[in-house]
Amino acid sequence: MKLIMAVVQDDDSARLMEGLVEAKFRATKLASTGGFLRSGNTTFMIGVDDEKVDKVLHVIRENCQSREQFMSPISPMGGNTDSYVPYPIEVEVGGATVFVLPIEKFVQY
Amino acid sequence: MKLIMAVVQDDDSARLMEGLVEAKFRATKLASTGGFLRSGNTTFMIGVDDEKVDKVLHVIRENCQSREQFMSPISPMGGNTDSYVPYPIEVEVGGATVFVLPIEKFVQY
Amino acid sequence: MKLIMAVVQDDDSARLMEGLVEAKFRATKLASTGGFLRSGNTTFMIGVDDEKVDKVLHVIRENCQSREQFMSPISPMGGNTDSYVPYPIEVEVGGATVFVLPIEKFVQY
Ligand code: NI
Ligand code: NI
Ligand code: NI
């Protein structure tokens, strides 16, 4: 068995949990912040049999892969309009940092 | 040494911490949610010498083992009484999912 | 690669993150409580190449090492003044409990 620790962005967190449940994997979410990824993030802890590690990685990549996205600029609210960009800008979102750890023993009570 | 990661239900969390302290083990609790177990849960991180792993597992099982419990139904508050079950029902509570991880190095500063 | 899990006191947490960023290491912080250390604590998760483990441990020790500190006593506010100690007292602060875990696979998406 392996313990997979995956740090993903908060925005992708609900979608990843859904993807894992659909694929019949069970995960625990740890509240986490900063560091590996740009904004708020969540750390998933997933215990799986060796032969299913690739399947879990597939689900993570499908739901969290780093990608470009067009963001509509927020209209300035009574602020300085000089810096206002009136067209959508491209930003990078998502991404996952994944550690696969060996397990010496796994028990359930 | 080993690092034991144990996901247990919130309800058993205080009791487990007490059991660990009594047995002279030190643990860190990580805020965690959903997944392995039905409701809110807590992840315990416990570092121990190899020969004490079984003792820690014993303390976890003693305090968190999955068991059946009779729950009094909540009286319906101005709701539909059609679905109201007026007798205690049996539910499964507790349970622990435990990973024992190898440690390559352990240091304290 | 290794996964370093370091439990440090909340007071040292911001300083450690700064030290890690300066040294070009990326870390994720997990909200954690009690156990290994006296008061509120934070668990850092840091993924590093094998040859950089010692550098990370150096940064942790530099920013979190257990040390003595003089604390000014808090003036009693309408309480019993019999137990009031009018001179600074020495207390132990800081400290870090660090686990270095082997990684079987590391991926980023
Ligand atoms: Ni697919
Ligand atoms: Ni016993
Ligand atoms: Ni230095």
Question: Per-domain residue ranges for chain C?
Answer: 2-74+86-102
Is C33 or A50 the better-scoring residue by pLDDT?
A: A50
> What token pair was written down for A37?
């990824």
- The distance of B92 to chain A (nearest Cα, Å) reads 12
Which of A60, A96, A100 has the CB atom closest to C103's CB atom? A100
pLDDT above 70 for A29: yes
pLDDT at B9 over 80: yes
Q: CATH says A2-69+87-102 is which class? A: alpha beta
ipTM of the complex: 0.80
Q: If residue C95 lies in a helix (H) or strand (E), which one and from where to where? A: none
Nearest-ligand number for the alpha carbon of A63: 1
Q: What is chain A's length?
A: 109
Q: Is the pLDDT of residue A48 over 90?
A: yes
**CATH 3.30.70.120 given to domain C2-74+86-102:** yes
Q: State the DSSP H helix or E strand holding residue A71, giving kind and residue range, or none if neither.
A: strand A67-71
Q: What is the pLDDT of residues B43-101, one digit of tens each?
A: 999 999 999 999 999 999 999 988 888 877 665 555 555 666 677 788 888 899 999 99
CB contact under 8 Å between A35 and C47, yes or no, is no
Quick one: pLDDT at residue C61? 96
Pick the more confident residue, A23 or B81: A23
Chains that touch C (3 or more CB pairs under 8 A): A, B
Residue A39 sits at the chain C interface (C-beta within 8 Å) = no
Q: How is domain B2-72+86-102 classified at the CATH fold level?
A: Alpha-Beta Plaits (3.30.70)
Question: How far is it, in rounded angstroms, from Cα B79 to Cα C15?
Answer: 53
Contact across the interface for A60 and C109, Cβ inside 8 Å:
yes
Query: Is residue B20 within 8 Å of B57, Cβ to Cβ?
Result: no
Distance from C-alpha of A82 to C-alpha of A53, rounded to nearest angstrom: 51
Strand ranges, E, within B10-94: 27-33, 41-48, 67-71, 89-93
Report how far apart, in Å, the C-alpha atoms of C75 and of each of B42, B62, C72, C83, C93 are. Answer: 37, 45, 9, 11, 21
Q: How far apart are the C-alpha atoms of B37 and B104, rounded to whole Å?
A: 29
Query: For chain B, how many residues are written?
Result: 109
Residue B109 Cα distances to B18, B20, B85, C57, C68, angstroms: 25, 23, 57, 9, 13
Question: DSSP state, A109?
Answer: -
Q: Say what percent of chain C tops pLDDT 90.
A: 55
pLDDT of residue C74: 61
Residue C38 clears pLDDT 90, i.e. is over it: no
A109, pLDDT greater than 80: yes
Distance A12 CA to ligand 1 centre (A): 16
Q: In Å, how far from its chain's centre is CA A37? A: 9
Q: C15 to each of A28, B89, C36, how far by Cα in Å?
A: 29, 52, 19
- Gap from CA of C47 to ligand 2 centroid (Å): 37
- Amino acid occupying residue A65: Q
> From CA C52, how far away is CA B102, in angstroms rounded?
20
What value does the mean pLDDT take over residues B32-50?
A: 79
Question: Residue C82: what pLDDT?
Answer: 60
pLDDT of C48: 96
Q: What is the pLDDT of residue C35?
A: 55
Q: Tell me: the pLDDT tens digits for C74-91?
A: 655 555 556 666 778 888
φ, ψ (nearest 5 deg) of residue C5: -110, 115
pLDDT of residue B90: 83
- Type and span of the H or E element at C77: none
